[in-house]
Amino acid sequence: MSKPNVRQTIRQPSSRANGLPRHRFTVEEFYRMVTAGIFTEDDRVELVEGDIVDMMPVSARHAACVKRLNHLLTRALGEQAIVGVQDPLRLDAHTEVLPDVMVLRPRPDFYAEAHPGPADVLLVVEVAETSLTYDRDVKGPLYARHRIPEYWLVDLEADRVWVHRRPGKEGYAEVKALGPEADLTPEALPDVRIPVRAILGQ
C-alpha cells in the first residue's frame, strides 16, 4: 500500500461510522508512524482525541503574527515564563497538538525531558486567518476540557482577540472579544500587558 493511501486511511475519524468502530490512535502510536516514515517531522498534523488531523497551511500574514506574539511575549515575560512557538503540547494519551504559541511555567531543562502537558501551561494562543472555525469549535473546547487556564484566539480577519477563561468540561465560561484599542494581561501574569494593536501589527 502506498504512503498516500495509508495516510488517507489513518485520518478517518475515530467515531463510529455505519455502526463500525474506528481505532483511536495514541500519541505513542503516532510517533511510531513517524519512525516508520508514514509521517515526517515536516508534516503539519495534530493528534486530536485519537484522530490525525491535517493543519491549515500557514500564510505569511499568519506567520508574521506568530512572530510578533513571540517577540512581544518574550520581551514582556523575561524570566517569568518560557515561550514556545508551534511546539507539541501533549494533553493526554490520545491528543498532542501544536499551538501557535504557549506560555509555560519556567523549568531549568526547558522541557528537554518531555513535551509540556496541561499543568505546565499558563496561556495558549492560536492565530486564525482561515482556521477560525477549527480553532474556536475544536481547539477551544479541547483546551477547556484539559483545564488550560487561558486561551487567546487571534482573529486576523476581524482584527480582534477572543480571550477565553474559566475552563470546564463544557468549554470556557468566560469569553470576550477585545479590539485593537485594548491591552491583554494574562491572569497568571498580572504585570504583563500586551497591546492587541501590536499583536495585529497595526
- Report pLDDT for 18: 57
Residues 128-178 pLDDT 10s = 998 899 999 999 999 999 999 999 999 999 999 999 999 999 999 999 999
Q: What are phi and psi of 185, to 5 degrees?
A: -135, 115
- pTM of the entire predicted model: 0.86
pLDDT at 30: 85
Rounded to whole angstroms, how far apart are CA atoms 158 and 125? Answer: 16
pLDDT at 19: 62
**pLDDT the model gives residue 22:** 72
Q: Tell me phi and psi for residue 68, to 5 degrees.
A: -65, -45
CA distance 173 to 166: 5
Please check whether residue 89 is in contact with residue 102, taking contact to mean a CB–CB distance below 8 angstroms.
yes
Instruction: Please give the DSSP secondary-structure letter assigned to residue 135.
Output: I
d(CA 124, CA 30): 23
Cα–Cα separations (whole angstroms), residue 89 to 102, 143, 185: 9, 10, 22
Residues of the chain with pLDDT under 70: 1-20
Number of continuous H segments (helices) and E segments (strands) in the chain = 6, 12
Closest by CA position to 149, among listed 114, 126, 120: 120
Long-range contacts of 103-106 (CB under 8 A, 24+ apart): 103/73, 103/77, 103/186, 103/188, 103/189, 105/81, 106/79, 106/80, 106/81, 106/82
| Model pLDDT, residue 9 | 36
Domains of the chain: 3-54 (no CATH), 60-200 (3.90.1570.10)
Q: Check residue 20 and give its pLDDT.
A: 67
Residue type, 196: V
